[in-house]
Structure 1
Amino acid sequence: MTATDEARQALARQRTMEITTTGRRSGRPRRIETWRYQADGRYWLTGSPGARDWYANVLAHPEFTLHLNGLDVQVRGRPVTDPGERARVFGEIVPGQDRAGSLESWLAGSPLVEILFD
Structure 2
Amino acid sequence: MTVTDEARQALERQQTVEITTIGRRSGRPRRIETWRYRADGRFWLTGSPGSRDWYANMLAHPEFTLHLHGLDLRVRGRAVTDPDERARVFGEIVPTLDWAGSLESWLAGSPLVEITLDS
TM over 0.5: yes
TM-score (ref. length: structure 1): 0.96
Name the count of aligned residue pairs: 117
Instruction: Decide whether the 8 Å contact of 2:3 with 2:117 is kept in 1.
Output: no
The aligned counterpart of 1:71 is: 71
One-letter amino acid of the structure 1 residue matched with residue 109 of structure 2? G
SS at match of 1:105: helix
Alpha-carbon offset, residue 5 of structure 1? 2.7
Amino acid at match of 1:31: R
Deviation digits for residues 26-52 of structure 1, max 9, x if unmatched?
Answer: 000000000100000100000000000
Q: Percent identity?
A: 84
Q: Which moved more, 1:101-110 or 1:6-15?
A: 6-15
User: Offset of 1:98 from its aligned partner?
Assistant: 1.8
Cross-structure match for 2:99: 99
Report the TM-score when normalising by structure 2.
0.95
Aligned counterpart, 2:86: 86
Distance (Å, rounded) in 1 between the aligned partners of 2:87 and 2:65: 27
Judge conservation of contact 1:66–1:72 (CA < 8 Å) in 2: yes
> Does residue 31 of structure 1 match 2:36?
no
Query: Could you tell me which residue of structure 1 aligns to residue 115 of structure 2?
Result: 115
Q: Which runs of 4+ in 1 moved over 4 A?
A: none
* Contact 1:45–1:113 (8 Å) recurs in 2: yes
Deviation of 1:75 after TM superposition, in Å, equals: 0.1
| Structure 1 unaligned residues grouped into runs of 5+ | none
Check conservation: 1:4, 1:117, Cα contact below 8 A: no
